[in-house]
Amino acid sequence: MNLAFFIISALFFIIVQTIVLPSFPWFSHCFDLVTVNIIFLSLLYSHYGVLAAVILMGLIMDSISGCAFFYHVFSYAWIYLVIQLLKQFVFQKSVVFILVISMVSVIIQQALIFFSIFIIQGRASQTDFSMLLNQIIWALIVIPPSLWLLNLSRSQWHIAGHTLKKNIIRKYRD
């Protein structure tokens, strides 16, 4: 049940980011939406299977984006690891914690971009920093409600799955 939900949610975020958002000029500097799914998985689970799923989502995003290969894999893995580290010391359901990990997630991804720009050009431009600020603002606005909606959708998914399971069992009993 959980696997199907996370596959569908990952596909949803990938489709929205790659097909829907590029057609809107407001979202030209929006952060990586798959990050929402990575944060949600990181908050719920702490085992190596989730890290494998995070790496798989990174490979998918690397293959369809124009970024350098392994950019998404590294950024998603770092986001997962940082959240796992912070989860041990902070109350996970806190709004402040959600806001902090939203900012940290965007900063991790942008730090990798800044590093690659610095290696190629030798310096970062003012537009790079303004893009970072725009993405942090978008993350603070979008990630907390998205996590709430994902949690609500996941609980509804489980209710629907249990109802379907009960109906199938009743059908075969009769």
Q: Is 164 exposed, middle or buried (0-12, 13-18, 19+ CB in 10 A)?
A: exposed
* Positive or negative torsion for Cα 29, 14, 116, 66: negative
Report CA 26 to chain centroid distance, whole Å. Answer: 20
pLDDT at 124: 59
Q: Which two tokens stand for residue 71?
A: 């950019």
pLDDT of amino acid 28: 67
Q: What is the DSSP letter of 91?
A: -
Contacts 24+ apart (CB under 8 A), 153-157: 153/5, 153/9, 154/2, 154/5, 157/1, 157/5
What pLDDT is attached to residue 133?
86
The C-alpha R_g of the chain, in whole angstroms, comes to: 18
Kindly state the helix (H) or strand (E) to which residue 123 belongs, with its residue range. Answer: none
Asked whether the beta carbons of 87 and 97 are under 8 A apart, the reply is no
- Thinking of the domain 2-173, which architecture would CATH place it in? Orthogonal Bundle (1.10)
Q: What is the pLDDT of residue 126?
A: 59
Task: Pinpoint the alpha helices (H) of the chain.
Answer: 2-15, 34-44, 48-64, 71-87, 95-121, 126-173
The tens-digit pLDDT sequence of the chain (174 residues) is: 688 898 899 999 888 888 888 787 777 677 888 999 999 999 888 888 889 999 999 998 888 887 778 888 999 999 999 999 988 887 767 888 899 999 999 999 888 877 777 777 766 565 667 888 888 888 899 999 999 999 999 999 999 988 988 888 887 876
**Residue ranges per domain, the chain?**
2-173
